[in-house]
Amino acid sequence: MFEKKAFTLEQQVAQLQSRGLQIKHPRIAEKYLINISYYRLGEYWYVMQSDKENHIFKPNSTFTDVIALYNFDAELRLLLFDVIEKIEISLRTKLIYYLSHEIDPWWFQNFALFIDSKALVKTLSNLEEEISITKDTSIQNHKKKHNDDGRFPPSWKTLEQTSFGALSKLYGNLNNTIKSKDLIARDFGAVNHTFLPSWLQSIAQIRNFCAHHSRLWNRNLPGTVKLLSSPPNPWINDPINIPKQHEFNKLYIHMCLMKYMLNTIIPKNEFTHKLDSLFQKYPNVDPNALGMKQNWQEEPLWR
């Protein structure tokens, strides 16, 4: 039976010190620990331990370095969230525009257009819930004006209410014969529908980590992405062009895809500069924990 009792802040600090973590100002450490939980910070000091069973720290491990790692990760999430927002808005706009013209404004309700009916039922169920609780004026006015119409509001109203994850599922679930599916892929530099769904799934997952303040630094990401053998736009010359499985687990290749897509939306974006500045601000952060390649800034993609 698990009977461990909760530690006070003083006990938490004392335990860390007894295990070899250098804490110069215990009171300041307590202030951090009352605002950032012991186990959340533990995700950052875990790699500093030489004996992970007994939680003994390597020599010269400091609480200051733990906080620096935590702050780096928080700023990285904010940076990626900003990039993903631009990709999300672009994807939403393209889905609404291309498919409303190719099919009609209620294309997202048409089961004949989708591969997996069960998946679409789930997506539409979530959409219905979002529409029912939204305070958005355009949705509320639409309901009042067209209360005899059993359909969702048209795509340019409805899809503004849904998440990036739902948008990526809608796109991936579209029949491959639909022209808009390839048009959207080409707009993002993905050539055709074969590659883009895995990119969107990856980005949606990372967006969820960002939204829930989950650690990205030194995280193993599940899943893989399909990469183009000859991308039409600037990419990376590094052999990671066809990565090994373990390289998919690191954030770098996924950030490369974000940068690749962002370049199609805002060609002169600041992603490279902001990411580089973040590493310069936190020089003790190991870029290898994110799978970064040496001189990544010099790759054609990142220039």
- The answer to whether position 1 is within a domain reads no
DSSP sequence for 14-45: HHHHHTT-B-S-HHHHHHHHHHS-HHHHHHHH
**Sign of the Cα pseudo-torsion (224, 226, 227, 229, in order):** positive
- The answer to whether position 2 is within a domain reads no
Same domain, 107 and 163: yes
- The answer to whether position 57 is within a domain reads yes
pLDDT grade for 123, boundaries at 50, 70 and 90? very high
At position 140, the amino acid (one-letter code) is Q
Q: SS3 sequence, 160-193? A: HHCCHHHHHHHHHHECCCCHHHHHHHHHCCCCCC
Same domain, 57 and 86: no
- The answer to whether position 3 is within a domain reads no
pLDDT grade for 146, boundaries at 50, 70 and 90? confident
Give percent of the chain with pLDDT exceeding 90.
83
Same domain, 165 and 248: yes
The 10s digit of each residue's pLDDT in 213-254 is 999 999 988 778 999 989 999 999 865 545 555 567 899 999
The 10s digit of each residue's pLDDT in 187-208 is 999 999 999 999 999 999 999 9
Same domain, 263 and 212: yes
- Of 84, 231, 269, 226, give the one whose Cα is nearest residue 167: 84
Q: Mapping DSSP to helix (H, G, I), strand (E, B) and coil, where does residue 4 land?
A: coil
With b meaning 16 or more CB within 10 Å and e meaning fewer, what string describes 21-51? bebeeeeebbebbeeeebeebebbbeebbee
Domain residues for 52?
9-61
Provide CB contacts within 8 A for 57, sequence distance 6+.
Answer: 19, 20, 21, 45, 48, 49, 50
Mean pLDDT of the 19-47 span: 97
Same domain, 87 and 52: no
Same domain, 92 and 191: yes
Same domain, 76 and 56: no
- The answer to whether position 173 is within a domain reads yes
Q: Please return the burial class of 69, using the count of CB atoms within 10 Å of its CB with bins 0-12, 13-18 and 19+.
A: buried
Bridge partners, 280 (sequence order): none
- The answer to whether position 202 is within a domain reads yes
Mean pLDDT of the 281-299 span: 93
Q: How many domains does one find in the chain?
A: 2
Report the alpha-carbon distance of residue 12 to residue 22 in Å, rounded.
Answer: 13
- The answer to whether position 83 is within a domain reads yes
Same domain, 81 and 206: yes
Same domain, 189 and 286: yes
Same domain, 31 and 165: no
Q: Output the CA–CA distances (angstroms, integers) from residue 281 to 120, 138, 227, in the order listed.
A: 45, 43, 31
Same domain, 141 and 246: yes
